[in-house]
Amino acid sequence: METAVRIDSRFPDMGTTIFTVMSRLAAECGAVNLSQGFPDFQAEPALFDAMHRHMLAGRNQYPPMAGLPELRQAIADKVAALYGTRFDVESEVTVTAGATQAIFTAVAAFVRPGDEVIVFEPVYDSYVPAIETVGGKAVHAQLQFPDYAPDWAQVASLITPKTRMIIVNSPHNPTGSLLTAADVDRLAELVRGTDIVILSDEVYEHILFDGERHVSLCGHPELAARTIVVSSFGKTYHITGWKIGYVVGPAALMAEFRKVHQFNVFTVHAPSQLAIAEYMQDASRHLGLAAFYQEKRDFFRQLMAATPFELLPCRGTYFQLARYDRISDLPDRAFAEWLTREVGVAVIPVSAFYADGRDDNVVRFCFAKREETLRAAVERLGKAFPAKSQL
């Protein structure tokens, strides 16, 4: 339907997220979708049984704005057990409609028109639109290719009196890199004595490999006092479509967060909250996630060794970056589209995570899939690109 309304877009250059674009193309082409980050396998039936039971028991009306007490208590207990910081259930824990909502709400709560927010490129694609929507300006620090480590000297040079927030993400999407204890200490030095708020996206906190331990900003007393930490039940329990996450942070920051949260979401699906609170009581369900996904990572990397793709290190998340410059000289977006249409495997071009479209000939695969899905994808790649071939 055509509209008679003249639209002066606030965001004339803002397109559709690359995840939607590539998943739609994968569906159109019948490609194996290793682009968007969601599992193609089910969670345990116990989680679904719990939600069904709570629905039948009548727990279907509005829960409290901040989340049901049962789930907030389970979150506080988990965070305390893992990182040694006890957040107050009433004033320092909020259940959100997924991590993306949590990130947008945190940005809207603290970033004012003209404020600057430092982000690290390659940057997950929801951060900058959230900043720009509220009138802030994203300032880009660079993770250093190919290990994607932060350059703290550069970050220091970017901090100005206008810097209101720094957004960090570890384990990092799309690169699979991690912040170390030394990184976190350096961040604390840089913001000491300022009013800068930290937003820490830790949705892959339980997915680390090779014995790595997650360095949460929750566990750093100096940073915990100025940080909103975001996590995701969707990533942890294989239920991305449920869109449930949470934030923890000091009471003064959380009060500001909730001022926005109450009016852009208000609250989150009640039976799901109760089911997750019950499911969380068995800590092995999140503590076992690293081994579960390491098996998938290793399986996928072993399969990919027979192709000409050059696999970059993957220390966390369920994403694997790969260079393809031994295969093609196409720009990464064109290569990803060609791979989807002609080979039948959908990936994400990493240039989509750079403001200037920087292209290192790297694409992102998601290995949160069944073995048969991964095998089918790599078989297609193997037929298209025998290990010694060149396009």
List beta partners, residue 362: 323
Nearest to 107 by CA among 225, 230, 12: 230
In a domain, 3, yes or no: no
The whole-number average pLDDT for the span 220-224 is 98
pLDDT given for residue 387 in this prediction: 67
Question: Do 194 and 312 reside in the same domain of the chain?
Answer: no
Q: Which residues make Cβ contacts (< 8 Å) with residue 370, sequence separation at least 6?
A: 40, 41
| 307 and 382 Cβ atoms separated by less than 8 Å | yes
Q: Going edge to edge, which strands form the sheet with 319-323?
A: 310-311, 319-323, 362-366, 348-349
Place of tokens 């909250």: 273
Q: Which residues make Cβ contacts (< 8 Å) with residue 344, sequence separation at least 6?
A: 29, 30, 31, 32, 380
Band (389; pLDDT cuts 50, 70, 90): very low
- Return the percentage of the chain with pLDDT > 90, whole number: 94
Handedness of CA 63, 65, 70, 71 (dihedral sign): positive
In a domain, 304, yes or no: yes
Question: Do 241 and 137 reside in the same domain of the chain?
Answer: yes
Nearest to 116 by CA among 169, 194, 173: 194
Total structural domains within the chain: 2
In a domain, 323, yes or no: yes
- Mean pLDDT score across all residues of the chain: 96
pLDDT given for residue 386 in this prediction: 82
pLDDT given for residue 191 in this prediction: 98
In a domain, 9, yes or no: no
At which of 234, 266, 283 does a domain end? 283
Give yes or no for residue 388 having a pLDDT over 60.
Answer: no
Give yes or no for residue 325 having a pLDDT over 70.
Answer: yes
Please state, in angstroms and rounded to a whole number, the distance separating the CA atoms of residues 93 and 116. Answer: 26
| 249 and 228 Cβ atoms separated by less than 8 Å | yes
- The phi and psi torsions of 246 (rounded to 5 degrees) equal -160, 160
Question: Do 230 and 330 reside in the same domain of the chain?
Answer: no
pLDDT tens-digit profile of 253-286? 999 999 999 999 999 999 999 999 999 999 999 9
Question: Do 277 and 298 reside in the same domain of the chain?
Answer: no
In a domain, 52, yes or no: yes
Question: Do 212 and 269 reside in the same domain of the chain?
Answer: yes
pLDDT tens-digit profile of 21-31? 999 999 999 99
Question: For residue 205, how many other CB atoms are within 10 A of its CB?
Answer: 27
| DSSP class of 225 | T
In a domain, 258, yes or no: yes
pLDDT tens-digit profile of 96-114? 999 999 999 999 999 999 9
At which of 257, 283, 309 does a domain end? 283
Q: Tokens standing for 210?
A: 């090779």
pLDDT given for residue 381 in this prediction: 97
The whole-number average pLDDT for the span 183-195 is 98
Higher model confidence: residue 47 or residue 14? 47
Give yes or no for residue 78 having a pLDDT over 90.
Answer: yes
Q: Tokens standing for 168?
A: 């960090």
Place of tokens 């071939």: 389
Higher model confidence: residue 192 or residue 386? 192
| DSSP class of 208 | B
- Return the percentage of the chain with pLDDT > 70, whole number: 99
- Domain span at residue 195? 45-283
Question: Do 54 and 124 reside in the same domain of the chain?
Answer: yes
Question: Do 35 and 81 reside in the same domain of the chain?
Answer: no
Please state, in angstroms and rounded to a whole number, the distance separating the CA atoms of residues 37 and 370. Answer: 13
Question: Do 26 and 54 reside in the same domain of the chain?
Answer: no
The CATH number that applies at residue 346 is 3.90.1150.10
Q: Tokens standing for 376?
A: 């089918």
Give yes or no for residue 2 having a pLDDT over 90.
Answer: no
The CATH number that applies at residue 165 is 3.40.640.10
pTM over 0.85: yes
pLDDT given for residue 390 in this prediction: 44
pLDDT given for residue 249 in this prediction: 98
The whole-number average pLDDT for the span 219-233 is 98
At which of 268, 283, 298 does a domain end? 283
Question: Do 28 and 59 reside in the same domain of the chain?
Answer: no
In a domain, 270, yes or no: yes
In a domain, 81, yes or no: yes
Ordered alpha helix ranges (H), the chain = 18-29, 45-56, 69-83, 98-110, 127-133, 152-158, 181-191, 221-224, 233-237, 251-264, 270-279, 284-287, 289-304, 332-338, 371-384
Question: Do 236 and 315 reside in the same domain of the chain?
Answer: no
Question: Do 107 and 57 reside in the same domain of the chain?
Answer: yes
Please state, in angstroms and rounded to a whole number, the distance separating the CA atoms of residues 335 and 333. Answer: 5
Question: Do 258 and 360 reside in the same domain of the chain?
Answer: no
